[in-house]
Every structure is written in structure tokens, then in C-alpha cells.
Amino acid sequence: MSERVVVFAPTRPGDEALSCTRWMAEHTMAMLRSENIEPVPVLDQQATRTSLESSATGSVRGIALFSHGLDAHIGSSGSRARLAVRDDAILGADGTPALDRDNLHITRERWVHAIACYSGVELGAQAVHTGADCFVGYDCAVMVLWEPGYLPAEVEPLVRELVTITTRNLARGERNERTLLARAAEVAEMITAWCEEHNDWCIENRQHAGGLEAMTHQLVERMQVFAAARS
């Protein structure tokens, strides 16, 4: 395995959302191995800014981020003038920014996929401006209010596919927004159809089903793709 991909997924005690994204990271690592790509795990309490930066070595071609995201106020560029605003960021296990505008250099000539709230608002455009090959994020609060352990055996493989398919396609070299959306949409439609056919389970597991259905739509409809211009 010559190509490597960083998989960043912090956890914190009592944080159910991070437990869910940690599950996504685990299946992403399995998917990468099946593609003959070596995952570089930056996980749990070790998932911090320092560890993320030190993991992005020369052979790393991509970064997959599974965490909380921080949404900046409009006009965040004024933060350098010490205004009361924040910058967009992906948070680490310590609750502080692990990736923000000040260390986007680690994304240069690499692709990034961030399943994190508001990761597709400003950070993606800033990353590509800094030199990233492609950055895929989401312009909303991503709903991860469901627990993988509640997924029925029939739908779990589809959910695993949905949360890994965009990373898979980026690793394979896909950069076209329409194609990335279409391939994710195919899987999302199958999950939606399953939920419609199993309404009884959805009613009995309202919180998990509602969160799953919301996330399923978000990972397609709220996807934002920022790609470097091709010469």
C-alpha cells in the first residue's frame, strides 16, 4: 500500500454524536483497506490538532474527518482584527479546533472529506484557495442522533456504504460535483426506500429513524464540493 489516507475521529465520554462518527470512521478504514489504501488512524483522545498535523506526511493523499464542526459568523475574516467572531473549524477530542484556517496547509495537494457540521460553509473554499485538491463538506448541522447498534441488519450495509462512498470516490480520483452527488444519491435513495417499506420499525425507533433519514438526505442535498481548477 503506497497511498495513505488520514482518518480523524475524536471521541469524548458521553458524546453520542462522536460515537456515531467514530463508527463511520471505522468502516471508512475498512473501505480504504479494501481499496488497497493504508488508513492512518488519528482516533479517540489522540485526535487533536497536533496529531492531525503530524499525521499529514508526504505519502498521505487524503484526509477524512469525522467530528464536530464549528460554524463561523458571517464576516469571520474580521477575526484577525480581534472582532468577536469565530473561524470555521473541525474540532478535536479536546474540544478545540483541530483544523481551521491557520493550519490548512496540511490539505495542500490533498483531498478532504469532512462529515462534520458546517464543514462546507467556508472551510472548503479556504482549503482549496490554500492549495487543497478537493474539499467535500456539508453546509448544515449534520444529524448524527442515531446509534449504529439500533440499525437492522438489512439496512446497516446501506448506511455503511452511504457514509463511505464519497470518501471512496475521492480516493479513486473523482472530483466532479455532479458525479459525487449522484453516486451518494443512489445509496441514499435505497435507504429512504427501506425506511418507507419498514414504517413500523421507524415508528418504534422514532429518534434513530428520524436522525438516520435526516442524515441520509443531508449527505446528498447539503453536500458542498470545492475543487481546484484544472489546467
Q: Is the pLDDT of residue 123 over 90?
A: yes
CA–CA dist 88, 94 (Å, integer): 16
Rg for the chain, CA atoms, rounded: 17
Q: Which helix (DSSP H) or strand (DSSP E) does residue 183 occupy?
A: helix 177-197
Counting residues of the chain whose pLDDT is more than 90, the rounded percentage is: 80
Q: Over the chain, what is the mean pLDDT? A: 91
CATH architecture group of domain 4-227: 3-Layer(aba) Sandwich (3.40)
The residue count of the chain comes to 231
Q: Which three cell numbers stand for residue 105?
A: 496547509
Q: Residue 16: CA atoms inside 13 Å, Cβ hemisphere, count?
A: 10
For 122-126, the CB contacts below 8 A with 24+ separation are 122/72, 122/76, 122/87, 122/88, 123/69, 123/88, 123/89, 123/90, 123/99, 124/224, 124/225, 124/226, 125/226, 126/88, 126/101
CA–CA dist 106, 130 (Å, integer): 9
Q: What angle do CA 152, 203, 182 make, to 5 degrees?
A: 60
Q: Is the pLDDT of residue 85 over 70?
A: no
> Structure pTM?
0.92
Residue-level pLDDT at 73: 53
Condensed to tens digits (0 to 9), the pLDDT of residues 49-65 reads 999 999 999 899 999 99
In 3D, which of 20, 183, 200, 11 has the Cα closest to residue 115?
A: 20
Q: Is the pLDDT of residue 102 over 70?
A: yes
Write phi, then psi, for 137 (nearest 5 degrees).
-140, -165
Domain residue ranges of the chain, discontinuous segments joined by +: 4-227
Which residues are within 8 A (CB) of 34 and not within 5 positions of it... i.e. 6 or more apart? none
CA–CA dist 153, 155 (Å, integer): 6
- What does the pLDDT average to over 94-110? 96
- What does the pLDDT average to over 14-40? 97
Q: What phi-psi label fits residue 14: left (phi over 0), alpha (psi between -120 and 50 degrees) or beta?
A: left
Q: Which helix (DSSP H) or strand (DSSP E) does residue 27 occupy?
A: helix 16-34
Q: Is the pLDDT of residue 79 over 70?
A: no
Write phi, then psi, for 9 (nearest 5 degrees).
-150, 95
Fill in the amino acid letter for 100. Answer: D
Q: What is the DSSP letter of 57?
A: -
* 83 confidence band (pLDDT: 50, 70, 90): very low
Condensed to tens digits (0 to 9), the pLDDT of residues 219-230 reads 999 999 999 987
- What does the pLDDT average to over 110-124? 95
